[in-house]
Amino acid sequence: MSAAPIYFDNNATTRVDPRVLEAMLPFFSEQFGNASSMHAFGAQVGGALKRAREQVQELLGAEFDHEIVFTGGGTESDNTAILSALETQTGRNEIITSAVEHPAVLALCDWLQKTRGVKVHRIGVDAKGRLDLDAYRKALGPKTAIASIMWANNETGTLFPVEQLAELAHEAGVLFHTDAVQAVGKIPLDLKNSEIDFLSLSAHKLHGPKGIGALYVRRGVRLRPLIRGGHQERGRRAGTENAPAIVGLGKAAELALQYMPEELGRVRELRDRLEQGIVARIPRCLVNGDISQRLPNTSNIAFEFIEGEAILLLMNQHGIAASSGSACTSGSLEPSHVLRAMNIPYTAAHGSTRFSLSRENTQEEVDRVLAVMPGIIARLRELSPFWQDDAPASAEFKPSYA
């Protein structure tokens, strides 16, 4: 009998928690009402949406439940915040973002630059993926409509000092948005004590359903809707609410808060066991990202002189799922824009593999992966025309452990 598959790709998406599914099910059957209806069927659903809003509010540490606007996911939340900032502030046509954002922000910025003449400042990062703070400060100005910097990078897990970045933005009179799709549910957040104006989240990264998310909009900050129509979400996002998914997001948020100590404890320990085990067993590998400022579940490891795609294929044969970059960029043979922005040498960037764990993983799974990884890497290196046992490490390429 073959062993159960191992899922270490939780930054791509997570399994819906059975308790989330259970909470959703009645909203496909007996609780089918439209929340806007003036009868008991509607009121039942309206109450459930209110509860879900409070659950998300609590996870974010937001002050008011009406600061939460339900959307169709992280991408829609990012688009809404950025486009709104441009539309509500005439005369401001510059955006500040980072070179390592998710395409949900970067592709929108590229499009705005090409079609609307918006000037986009893409702030660079250093070799550990840390933002160039001086360049960020310098870019802020009277023409900036919004600064949008992610809370945690999806590929490396590197955390950005977004609370400080929001304060700097406000000192310059600039709105601040953060794509926190990878941070929400993995690290504690306390928005009421921050100056962040907008925050994006997505349910499917925290054991909730796909196609539902939220945009946090600080009280008093103007929002121009992306989708116009009915008066749902206080006129900020039109369309009959996706009640089952919203209820699922609410339950997922409640569970994420409950499991936060485990995320910061057991999940982090599993990640460290995996990472340190790999580095100890396999020569010439490097941990990408800022090890001291990182999500507890993510490890991005570069195996020098081999291709990430080949590693994933062989891992898949052993029933292990990981990723060679973000789900959106894999499929192209170029190293990801994140690793390129970090100036990771080509020979290492190509072999970078992302392991992202969750509360559903176990030590037994980590140990099974550790047992097979050295063989997988050795086999691929034997086939690699570039690999020599005694090849000198490239100058910039210094293994961070070992």
Ligand X SMILES: Cc1ncc(COP(=O)(O)O)c(C=O)c1O
Interface residues with ligand X (CB under 6 A) are: 73-75, 102, 104, 150, 154, 179, 181-182, 202, 213
Q: How far is the CB of 8 from ligand X (least distance, A)?
A: 16
Q: How far is the CB of 250 from ligand X (least distance, A)?
A: 16
Cβ pair 189, 209 in contact under 8 A: no
Q: Which residues contact 117 (CB under 8 A, 6 or more apart)?
A: 93
Phi, then psi, of 186 in degrees rounded to 5: -110, -30
Q: How far is the CB of 56 from ligand X (least distance, A)?
A: 14
**CA-to-CA distance for 321 and 326, rounded, in angstroms?**
13
Q: How far is the CB of 245 from ligand X (least distance, A)?
A: 11
Q: How far is the CB of 134 from ligand X (least distance, A)?
A: 24
In the complex with ligand X, which residue's Cβ is closer, 160 or 305?
160
Q: How far is the CB of 59 from ligand X (least distance, A)?
A: 16
In the complex with ligand X, which residue's Cβ is closer, 225 or 325?
325
DSSP string over 65-95: GGGEEEESSHHHHHHHHHHHHHHHSTT--EE
In the complex with ligand X, which residue's Cβ is closer, 74 or 289?
74
Query: ∠ CA 128-132-138 to the nearest 5 degrees?
Result: 175
* Nearest-CB residue for ligand X: 74
DSSP character at residue 39: S
Q: How far is the CB of 119 from ligand X (least distance, A)?
A: 23
Cβ pair 125, 342 in contact under 8 A: yes
How many other CB atoms are found less than 10 A from the CB of residue 12?
18
In the complex with ligand X, which residue's Cβ is closer, 102 or 207?
102
Nearest to 86 by CA among 96, 95, 74: 95
How many other CB atoms are found less than 10 A from the CB of residue 169?
26
Cβ pair 55, 68 in contact under 8 A: no
List the catalytic residue out of 328, 370, 372, 393.
328
**CA-to-CA distance for 188 and 217, rounded, in angstroms?**
18
**Residue 328 annotated in active site:** yes
Nearest to 371 by CA among 315, 306, 327, 330: 315
DSSP H stretches of helix in 147-223: 162-171
**What are the CA-CA distances from residue 363 to residues 119, 180, 378, 401 (Å)?**
48, 28, 24, 21
> Catalytic positions, please?
328
